[in-house]
Structure 1
Amino acid sequence: MVEKDLDMVISNSVPSYPEINSDLSNYMESLDSQMNMVLHYLDLPAENVVASVKERKKSFNNLEDVISEIDVDKSSMIYLSRYIYATSVGLFDSALNYLWDATINELRKRVKNFNVEYFYDVVVQNTEKRAKLHSDKDLPKLQDSELISGAHKIEMIDSVTYQRLSHILYMRNWTSSAHPNDHSLTGLSLIDFLETCITSVFNLPMSELNLEIQKLLADVKKSLLPNNEIEAKKALFDKLTSAQHNSLLNGLFGIFVSSDSTTETKNNITKLAPLLWSLSSEETKTKIGTNYGNYSINSHTEKANSAKKFIDIVEGQSYIPQKLKMSEISNILSDLSTAHSSMNNFYAEPSLAQQLSKFVGDYSSMPEVIEKEYVETVVNCFLTNGSGSAWNAEQYYREMINAFTDKQARIALLSFKNETIKSKIDNWQLCSNYFKDLLNLIRPQFVKSLQLDLLDFILNFNGDPLGNFVKDTRYLKTYADYVKKS
């Protein structure tokens, strides 16, 4: 009885969140005052060390409402607890790190629960790197940018969420003390990032279509499917988006060439792949042909034989690269894109940019199968990450841009259609400046034409951000239709 009464007293004594928040505000001010005395005593800087109590209060005033939105088990979310602790003492950069770690952990769980092998097949373009990835334990080997890009590719997250997470990743990478910068975090921006991560990742439901894709991938591996089930699986293709067609084709190709796949599994894929091939993009078909080239060059005989058989099944022989050596360029492009998105891009990019420049210089022309990927990768890297230029790599980007053919210059002009490039000129002034620099570099490739008019229109556009030129009345009236059809 005494024990029960004690439990009631303890339960009734728990204060409300507003009471806790009020006490915490006083504690923050007291702690700041005491810590400043310590720092002054030690002759250390005491100004601008942590965020102000005012900013911390903005975050905590909204904390209860935002955390209450989490509709999954919170018992293992230790990084969120650390996020709150770091916020309370004004270490916003650390808080953002903890929030990002929590978000990445949750995203990895969802990839694991979906189909991790399929995820690798869709996301990892470098065949040598793909060969080293097998289970969910290998997910940490992927860059965070690869993880969120992959979640976008398999439509686990939509384009808006992808852009928001990319922005949070950028801020996480470039607002820490390890990277001196002019960016600053506010209490409201920190709580806004938390809400985005909760609604977009922590509470992320599996869509009905992704559940059906997950079941298809599991079923093709179980046993030989009868014809009526094969036809039912084909009916699913009509419901999928173009991006899902491409992802699923990559996934089935990956299963087909895996050494773990049984004869029954390969027979199932043999019946499904031709229709899916006909629905997929030229870029995806080209990538599969290039993967076959990679396997051949690197003496992965078993995978190369399986890849060739897959290509024969879908009648995709025209997508086999005439110069298998060119598949090495594809691997470099993949590695360069990954390096560019990483925190240490200033150190990782130059050697890859030099390597790419060398390969391109070794051939008089770029194979059409990777020409668009080549141009857009060079443009994307040349535009910088918005925080600073990898100057040791920039010279190589300028050399490659100056060597663009007329066709490649046209691809570069329209590269703003690429979602990643468009996001850069929508959000970062440095990227916008470099995009105009790019246009000046390729301008000599154009004679008087609608293309040259479009180029000059963008160069002379003074709106902010630069990406808003696509909303300009003149653009919509004069150039939008041409851009859409190109």
Structure 2
Amino acid sequence: MSTELLSKPQAGMLSTDTTKFEGYLAHLGLPTENIIASLPERKIIEANLPAFIESLPAEVKRDARYLSKFVAGAAIGLFDASLNYVWNEVVINLREKVIVYGLDMFFDAAVGGSRREFYATEEDLSGLKDNNLVNTCRKLELISDIVYTKLNHILTMRNDIGASHPNSYSINAYELLGWLQTCVQDILNDKPSASAIQIKSFIENLKRSPDVLDTATISSMEKPLGDLSLQNTDNLLNSIFGIYSTLSTGNIVRKNIALFAPHIWGKSSDNVKYKLGVTIDGYKNNLHNDKHALGVEFFNFCDGNRYQSLDSKIISLDSHADDLLQARYSWDNFYNEPPHMRKILSYLKTEADIPVERVNKIIKAVLICRVGKGIPYNTGVSPAGRPLYDQFFGMLGDQNIINTIIAMHTNEVRVTLDNTHCQKHMITVLTNLKANARSERIQEILDFLMQNGTILNKIHNDKRYKELTKNHITFG
């Protein structure tokens, strides 16, 4: 009997009628609608799932308990639970990639400001929001941009229509199968980029080196480091600053950092330099005097003291922008976003009050919140936060209108703009910006974007748009 079951699976195993189970729920006085997927949807899973599972290598299936749980959830019709099982495996896989890459480097990129000191071990990875984990993995090139886009979509679905949040939307079978295939084939088997591996190797060799680097060695390092992308160069600068300012770091390691850090500093963005300046001020404010002194040393040999003179307004706005984004990606964000936005606006009465050192970060954070989550409830934007965000965008002039358009093209905003709700909100922002635009060319750019609102997520590839914006925006 058991041999027959192994060689010929019982027909209808996944599409068994669940009427009795629904009757039992009704008997208990519990809801029955939108709990279990319909029989036709389960039959679609039954017809297509075996071929996909059979196509996987034996070593992939051997310890894939999440796949067993996925099949169990699909069998009874709990598609949202099945999605949760797959997503949990994705998170575990990303954490494993982070551990291989290096926890210190990852936390340097993922956690800013005063919270950084609380993140050091593998267990601390569980303290990061899934969105932060995914974004940082993309930033460090542990996953590709394409995989990041897919993950962002699946995470949105998991959060807004999955079992982790109450909802009335039902996942259909083809969506579920597509997400499973994406997670298994494109994500769980995805490898870090060559640049990520190069940075990891560089940091490890730096920590292990028993000797002070000579001039020839430093010169040989310049070209491969110079070939890194700006994002990876920023990540590397952030990491070596963290190593240098760690009290347990040895003198030889610090000496070697002092020798080559100026080369990396010169190739890094102003944004990461100002961020490190905020970190130094944080050491001072929290009475970490030894770490503060080491941070000042780092800025001295990098000739970066002009980035260190940050007043309390810049530090406060940086922290409030971080808090606003954290609220955006947390539970009850509709209620938690407005207090942080009010704090930001308390420093800003006119556009001139926005510090140039943090204007791009603030614009991007506010835009992410204003475009919203792309869900039907309140069209994805905090009702109390909406007028606050509009007030902020209403004070922007030509240069910061361009900065807002540039923020629209960043990954975090762009991936949401294939959603109709997010498109409408972005068009509203563009409409508000046009009211203040003085330049005729900028008005033309805004008109073009509004006329092409349904393709804002890919409009950066349009030749007409590139020609129109060539004096204001440079696309990679």
TM-score, structure 2 as length reference: 0.89
Map of 1:302-381 to 2, 5 A cutoff? 302-361=290-349, 365-381=353-369
Structure 1 residues without counterparts, runs of 5 or longer = 1-8
Alpha-carbon separation, structure 2, partners of 1:143 and 1:70? 31
Greater shift in the superposed pair: 352-361 or 222-231: 222-231
Q: CA deviation at 1:221?
A: 1.6
Q: Find the partner of 1:117 among 84, 90, 104.
A: 104
Is 1:410–2:402 an aligned residue pair? yes
Q: Do the aligned partners of 2:109 and 2:235 also contact (CA within 8 Å) in 1?
A: yes
Q: CA RMSD for the aligned pairs?
A: 2.8
* Gap change, CA 1:198 and 1:177, over 3 Å in 2: closer
Partner of 2:91: 104
CA distance in 2, matches of 1:169, 1:229: 44
Checking the alignment, whether the CA contact within 8 Å between 2:341 and 2:389 is kept in structure 1 is yes
CA 1:249–1:423: 2 relative to 1, 3 Å: same
Counterparts of residues 158-177 of structure 1 (less than 5 Å): 158-176=144-162
The alignment-based identity, stated in percent, is 25
User: In the alignment, what sits opposite 1:385?
Assistant: 373
- Unaligned 5+ runs, structure 2: none
Question: Hey, what's the Cα distance between the residues in 1 that align with 2:197 and 2:29?
Answer: 60
Return the letter of the residue paired with 1:166: N
| Number of residue pairs aligned between Structure 1 and Structure 2 | 469
Q: Is 1:450 aligned with 2:441? A: yes
Amino acid at match of 2:225: F
Q: Which residue of 2 aligns with 1:437?
A: 428
CA change 1:121–1:470 in 2 (3 A) is: closer
Measure the CA separation in 2 of the matches of 1:329 and 1:196.
Answer: 38
Could you tell which deviates more after superposition, 152-161 or 466-475?
466-475
What is residue 150 of structure 1 aligned with on the other side? 136
Report the AA paired with residue 169 of structure 1. L
Distance 1:268 1:331 in 2: 32
Tell me the distance in 2 between the aligned counterparts of 1:124 and 1:202: 24
Q: Which residue of 2 aligns with 1:5?
A: none
The one of 10, 14, 20 aligned to 2:9: 20
The 8 Å contact of residues 277 and 314 in structure 1, kept in 2 or not, is answered as yes
Number of the residue aligned with 2:465: 475
Deviations 1:286-322 (Å, cap 9, x if unpaired)? Answer: 2222222332333332222111111111111221234
Measure how far apart 1:440 and its partner are: 2.1
Residues 5-404 of structure 1 mapped to structure 2, 5 A cutoff? 13=4, 15-16=6-7, 19-20=8-9, 22-25=11-14, 28-30=15-17, 32-42=18-28, 45-67=31-53, 68-69=55-56, 76-125=63-112, 127-176=113-162, 179=165, 183-225=169-211, 226-227=213-214, 229-361=217-349, 365-387=353-375, 388-404=380-396
Q: Distance in 1 between matches of 2:217 and 2:468?
A: 50
Distance in 1, Cα, partners of 2:195 & 2:444: 43
- Residue 84 of structure 1 deviates from its aligned partner by 2.0
Q: Is contact 2:12–2:46 with CA below 8 Å preserved after alignment?
A: no
Which stretch has the larger CA shift, 260-269 or 221-230?
A: 221-230
Residue number in structure 2 paired with 1:3: none
Q: 1:339 to 1:188 in 2, by over 3 A?
A: same
Which stretch shifts more, 286-295 or 114-123? Answer: 286-295
- Post-superposition Cα deviations, 1:96-139, rounded to whole Å, max 9, x if no partner, equal 111111110111111112101110112212x2111110111100
In the TM superposition, structure 1's runs of 4+ consecutive aligned residues that sit over 6 Å from their partners are none
Give me the whole-angstrom Cα distance separating, in 1, the residues matched to 2:189 and 2:47: 22
Compare the two structures and name the one with the higher helix fraction.
1
